[in-house]
Structure 1
Amino acid sequence: MTNEQFYECCLYQQVPDSCLEKCSYATYTKNTLQAMKMYCATGGLDHTECCMRNDVATTFAGRKCLTFCDQRPGNVTKPDLSYLPCYERFENIKSCFMEDIGIKNRPTTVDVGLARTFET
């Protein structure tokens, strides 16, 4: 498979635009894949506020777990064993990704009178 075919495959699989740059053998490494999975799962957004509400920082690792909630570009952390307690809150973290991304992608309804409603 060529780099071009790799990229086309990513397009076909509907890889998010922000992750397409990683669809090349030049950037296809274990570290890149791990970072890309986290970045793509979060939508490249900061979910810290939701994670705080969902008790993500209440493990023995404490606030370190919030690292997984903020995967904006440039926020790179190489987890070590001290992050292991964060696994207890994996579902809490994941629910924030889904909740926040769902809120941001939800159509906005604007009521412009008694008879008609439009989506923006």
Structure 2
Amino acid sequence: MLSASACALGVGYLVVADPHDPNTVMPVCPTKIVTGLDCPACGGLRLVHDLLHGHARAAVHDNLFILLCSPVLMYLIWRQGRAVSLGEQARVPRPLAYGLAGAALVWMAVRNLPGWPLTPTSI
């Protein structure tokens, strides 16, 4: 219940705060700070903000990987929540976990190539 409340508060903040604006208070990506590279999740907050405001094209630019993986991720979150409510465990199948991790690493490499057109949008 606490996780759902925190998630709802975070989404509510993204409704009113624009992460594209550098003056808006948002968490900073540790990977970006340390390496200067966009991690697989960089642009995720901008993506959610854009989707909440109906800006699908900007969402694609912010993080195509998370956008395409979101149905699988939402299913896994729902499955875990259901298992917890029943007092059970819901393990992610190993092939799926390795597949998502591998795809995230490939996405990180590709999105940091010079000239890659899908970069997170900003003001």
Q: TM-score, normalised by structure 1?
A: 0.29
Flag the structure with higher helix content.
2
Q: Which has the larger radius of gyration?
A: 1
Q: TM-score, normalised by structure 2?
A: 0.29
Flag the structure with higher strand content.
1
